[in-house]
């Protein structure tokens, strides 16, 4: 079994401290892993800084070969990584397997991209070229809901662009990242990627470090604001993919029985622990009762349990803090509306909450106004679709949203009115490595994925030549 060591300057090293990692389905220890001190963080940053000149001078084709080799290693160890992911994160093994192999696919996608010199003007009097240059050391901070795939939003484009990286996973889900360090130790030159684990105490020094030129952070809006403040003193680049309170708006022309399963999956994937999960559902009054009933039936029939058990559809909340927060929101929801499915905590170990549907609730309730990040969906009645759009847009967040209708043209016109980084029509929460992803409002800054996501890891340099 892996010893779960840190990767610093090409070596697997013990942490100056250790920490236990719990299985959220059992509340038992999965493994004890290395925990880095601030001195070890300094060593990791120094190693990345030292490795940068050589790595940035490596040809892009050779960088692509290394990224593809990482994808090969992930796939070759996919079964072990998936099982480990389920144990530390809680999601069903099938979902964990999809995440692991999706991670490899995201790595391979970025090797399909290039950073060519673009000629902006080639006239008689001048030639103007746009070059994309690497930034230097990147601090990549990854959350606990998708430890593997969200790492793949950051690591491959950073490496392809010629940067070096210090990767910090969430304290409650460090094992898959540390295992990755073991797998890639001999694939990359020493110091190109360094992986540390902490107990929520190294994010601030990583963010504010003068030798780190960019922070790519995925996590809560509150923590994202702290990252932005920490980076401000040095005006370093930041990409922030933060919280969301995504609204789905269902028109009265849909078939509730056909649409309800899609809506349920959009809200409850990964037990609702998805930044772009549907977190508010607006349903036209003409089909409101039927839609609520259909959603409640699906919720009542959902199988929750340990992700390693056959047939489990939804796992636990990932950590105790989130578990307690969601319980508070459910309690408030029961006072403001009517809970028609779920709302209870099974009498067994683990951070389990049954999928919960709340009806007859509106803005002003915490369950509508706040991001629950758990298995709870408020269903809100509306009469006028323009009013529903206005209510959906009233949130401080703007990560994603969706319109559901039998008339795709009508839905498209309404989608244009929604104020969010991504709007889906008749689906929700679809991500593709080739499609840029980012939020509006308090949901973040910058873009990830696609060509735009790659360029976020570069400095634009213009060369203007007189003739």
Active site positions, annotated: 241, 275
Three state DSSP letters for the chain: CCCCCEEECCEEECCCEEEEEEECCCCEEEEEEEECCHHHHHHHHHHHHHHHHHHHHCCHHHHHHHHHHHHHHHHHCHHHHHHHHHHHHCCCHHHHHHHHHHHHHHHHHHCCCCCCCEEEEECCCEEEEEEEEECCEEEEECCCCCCCCCHHHCHHHHHHCCCEEEEECCCCCCHHHHHHHHHHCCCCCCCCEEECCCCCCCHHHHHHCCCEEEEEEECCHHHHHHHHHHHHCCCCEEEEECCCCEEEEECCCCCHHHHHHHHHHHHHHHHHCCCCCEEEEEEECCCHHHHHHHHHHHHHHCCECCCCCCCCCECCCCCHHHHHHHHHHHHHHHHHCEEEECCCCCCCCCCCCCCEEEECCCCCCHHHHCCCCCCEEEEEEECCHHHHHHHHHCCCEECEEEEECCCHHHHHHHHCCCCCCEEEECCCCCCCCCCCECCEECCEECCECHHHHHHCCEEEEEEEEEC
Residue with tokens 């989130």: 322
């Amino acid at each position: 079994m892996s010893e779960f060591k840190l990767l610093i300057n090409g070596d697997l090293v013990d942490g100056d401290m250790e920490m236990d990692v719990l299985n959220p389905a059992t509340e038992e220890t999965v493994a004890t892993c290395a925990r880095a001190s601030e001195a070890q963080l300094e060593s990791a940053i120094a190693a990345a800084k030292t490795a940068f000149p050589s790595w940035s001078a490596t040809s892009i084709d050779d960088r692509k070969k290394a990224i593809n080799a990482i994808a090969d290693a992930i796939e070759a160890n996919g079964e072990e990584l998936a099982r480990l992911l389920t144990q530390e994160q809680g999601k069903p093994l099938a979902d964990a397997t999809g995440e692991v192999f999706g991670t490899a696919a995201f790595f391979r996608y970025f090797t399909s991209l290039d950073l060519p010199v673009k000629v902006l003007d080639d006239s008689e009097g001048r030639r103007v070229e746009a070059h994309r240059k690497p930034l230097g050391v990147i601090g990549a901070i990854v959350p606990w809901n998708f430890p593997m795939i969200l790492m793949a939003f950051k690591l491959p484009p950073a490496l392809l662009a010629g940067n070096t990286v210090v990767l910090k996973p969430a304290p409650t889900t460090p094992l898959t990242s540390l295992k990755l360090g073991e797998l890639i130790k001999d694939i990359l030159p020493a110091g190109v990627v360094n992986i540390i684990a902490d107990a929520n105490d190294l994010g601030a020094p990583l963010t504010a470090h003068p030798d780190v030129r960019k922070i790519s952070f995925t996590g809560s809006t509150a923590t994202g604001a702290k990252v932005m403040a920490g980076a401000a003193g040095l005006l370093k680049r930041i990409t922030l993919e933060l919280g969301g309170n995504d609204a789905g708006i269902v028109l009265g022309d849909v078939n509730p029985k056909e649409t309800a399963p899609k809506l349920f999956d959009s809200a409850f994937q990964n037990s609702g622990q998805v930044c772009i999960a549907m977190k508010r559902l607006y349903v036209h009054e003409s089909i409101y009762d039927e839609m609520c009933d259909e959603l409640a039936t699906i919720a009542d029939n959902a199988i929750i349990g340990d992700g390693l058990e056959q047939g489990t559809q939804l796992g636990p909340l990932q950590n105790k803090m989130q578990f307690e927060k969601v319980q508070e929101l459910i309690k408030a929801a029961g006072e403001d509306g009517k809970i028609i499915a779920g709302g209870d905590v099974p009498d067994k170990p683990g951070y389990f909450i049954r999928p919960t549907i709340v009806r007859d609730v509106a803005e002003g309730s915490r369950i509508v106004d706040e991001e629950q990040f758990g298995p709870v969906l408020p269903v809100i009645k509306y009469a006028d679709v323009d009013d529903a759009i206005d209510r959906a847009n009233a949130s401080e967040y703007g990560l994603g949203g969706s319109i559901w209708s039998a008339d795709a043209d009508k839905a498209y016109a309404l989608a244009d009115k929604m104020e969010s980084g991504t709007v889906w029509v008749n689906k929700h929460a679809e991500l593709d490595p080739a499609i840029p992803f980012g939020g509006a409002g308090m949901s973040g800054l910058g873009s990830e994925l696609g060509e735009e996501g790659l360029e976020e890891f570069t400095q634009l340099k213009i060369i203007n030549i007189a003739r």
